[in-house]
Amino acid sequence: MEMVFRWFGEGNDQVPLKYIKQIPGVNGIVWALHDIPTGEEWPLERIVEVRNQAEQYGLNIDVVESLNVHEDIKLGLPTRDEYIDKYIKTMERLAKVGVKVICYNFMPVFDWVRTNLFKEHEDESTSLFFEKAKIADTDPMELVKMISHNSAYTMPGWEPERLQYLTKLFEQYENVTEESLWENLKYFLEKIIPVCEKLDIKMAIHPDDPPFSVFGLPRIITNKTSLERLINLVDSPYNGITFCSGSLGVNPNNNLVDILQTFADRIHFAHIRNLKRYENGNFIETSHRMSDGSLDIHGMVRALYETNFKGYIRPDHGRHIWDEDCRPGYGLYDRALGIMYLWGIWDSLVQSGKEKLYATS
C-alpha cells in the first residue's frame, strides 16, 4: 500500500508539507483546489503549482480529493453536460501532472453531516460527533431560517455563504428519488469513464457519510449491495471505490472486512478511521486504536494485506489533541499517530508472513 496524507494547501492548512514529509512512510499528499467553486475548471497553472510545492519535499500528488460533482449533474438537469465537459477538462489537466486517482462523491447538498465539531472525550481531547435524533427531528428549512437570523447557530457544512443556495437545492431535490439519483450517477459515469481509460485516471467514489438519508435527501452509496451496483453501472476497472471505514462503519450491519475482500480489485483508495457507535444511533470519532472504538481496524488492515492492496491509503479523521488548533477532524498529531498504528499492524503482518515462510522452507 502507499501511504498518503490529506493536505488542504498553503495558507489553508496548519500542517506544513515539511511536517508531512517527517511522518514515516508517507509518500504523497491528497489534495484539491478548494477555493475553486464546484463545477468550474481547475487552471493548469494552479495544478502545476501544487505539484511543484509537493515535489520540494519529495511528495507525490497522485490522489485528488475531491473533484466535486456539480449539483446539476446529480439532479440530472439539462445543464449537466456543460458541467461534465468542465469536469473532463479538469481531469485532462490533472493527467498532465500524473494524477492517478480522483476521489469524489455523489451525495446531495452535503458531503458529510455532523452535529458537533469538537465533542469532548473523557481525556479532554475532542473529535467530530453525530447526534442522530438532532438530525432526524430537524426540519432543514427551519435550520436555514435559524442560521440566517442567528450567526451563532451553525452546523457543520452549513456555511453562511451557502445559505442563499440551500433553500433552492432542497426544493430541487424534493422529487429526486434514490432511483433517479442512480440514473444520474450512471449518466455521469458513462460520460467520464471512457475518458478515464484514455487518461489512466481511476475514479473512486466515496460512500455517503453517514450512510443513510439525512433531511430527507436520497443517499445511495451506503453498503455492499450499493457498491456492487455502482461497479456494474459501468463495468471498467477505472470505475472504482474509495473504501471509507468511518462512513460505512456507522452502520453495524456493514461487514467492513468482507467489503474490502469482495471489492479488492476496485478499491483504489482507502480511508481508515475508527469511531464509537452508540445504540441510539449516535457516533463519535476516536483514535485509530481498536479498543477505543467499534471498528475492527486490525481486520481491515489484514484484509488489505492479504488482497495485496497496491492502492493509496490515508488515516482519516483524528481527534484534536495536545491543544492543537486545527481544521475539525484534520489535526496533524492524531493522524500521524494513526499512521504509525496502521504501519504497526501492516509491519506485523509482513513479519508474520516472513516467519511462516521461513518455518516452511
Q: What is the pLDDT of residue 11?
A: 81
Q: What is the pLDDT of residue 357?
A: 61
Helix (H, G, I), strand (E, B) or coil at 114: coil
Poorest-confidence range of 136-150, 215-229, 315-329?
136-150
Which amino acid is it at 17?
A: L
Task: Answer whether 206's CB lies under 8 Å from 247's CB.
Answer: yes
Dihedral of the CA atoms 222, 225, 228, 234 (nearest 10)? -70
First to last CA, the chain: 27
In degrees, rounded to 5, the angle at the alpha carbon of residue 81 between the alpha carbons of residues 77 and 86 is 125
Residue 153 pLDDT exceeds 50: no
Helix (H, G, I), strand (E, B) or coil at 191: helix
Residue 67 pLDDT exceeds 80: yes
All three cell numbers of 188, joined, read 455521469
> What average pLDDT does the segment 25-38 reach?
94
d(C-alpha 320, C-alpha 325), whole Å: 8
Residue 135 pLDDT exceeds 60: yes
Task: Answer whether 28's CB lies under 8 Å from 4's CB.
Answer: yes
Q: Which helix (H) or strand (E) holds 283?
A: strand 283-285
Residue 150 pLDDT exceeds 90: no
3-state helix, strand, coil in the chain (%, to 5): 45, 15, 40
Q: What is the pLDDT of residue 113?
A: 86
The model carries a pTM of: 0.93
- Over pLDDT 70: what percentage of the chain? 92
Q: What is the pLDDT of residue 169?
A: 85
Higher per-residue pLDDT: 127 or 354 = 127
Give Cα separations from 329 to 16, 37, 226, 271, 344 (angstroms).
Answer: 17, 22, 27, 13, 22
Mean predicted lDDT score pLDDT of the chain: 92
Q: What is the pLDDT of residue 333?
A: 97
Task: Answer whether 249's CB lies under 8 Å from 285's CB.
Answer: no
What domains can be seen in the chain, in order of their start residue?
A: 2-110+177-360 (3.20.20.150)
> What average pLDDT does the segment 32-42 reach?
93
Q: What is the pLDDT of residue 146?
A: 60
The dihedrals phi and psi of 279, each to the nearest 5 degrees, come to -65, -25
> What average pLDDT does the segment 147-163 reach?
53
Q: What is the pLDDT of residue 185?
A: 98
Poorest-confidence range of 71-80, 149-158, 203-212?
149-158
Strand (E) positions, 176-282? 202-205, 239-244, 267-272, 275-277
Q: What is the pLDDT of residue 10?
A: 86
d(C-alpha 1, C-alpha 183), whole Å: 33
User: Bridge-partner residues for 127, per DSSP?
Assistant: 119
Q: What is the pLDDT of residue 84?
A: 98
Residue 154 pLDDT exceeds 60: no
All three cell numbers of 202, joined, read 481511476
Poorest-confidence range of 11-15, 41-45, 58-62, 96-100?
11-15
d(C-alpha 233, C-alpha 111), whole Å: 22
Side-chain half-sphere CA neighbours of 350 within 13 A: 9
d(C-alpha 35, C-alpha 42), whole Å: 10
Q: What is the pLDDT of residue 109?
A: 87
- Tens of pLDDT, residue by residue over 235-271, are 999 999 999 999 999 999 999 999 999 999 999 999 9
Q: What is the pLDDT of residue 214?
A: 87
- Tens of pLDDT, residue by residue over 269-314, are 999 999 999 999 999 999 999 999 999 999 999 999 999 999 999 9
d(C-alpha 228, C-alpha 209), whole Å: 18
d(C-alpha 34, C-alpha 346), whole Å: 32
Residue 215: which pLDDT band, with cuts at 50, 70 and 90?
confident
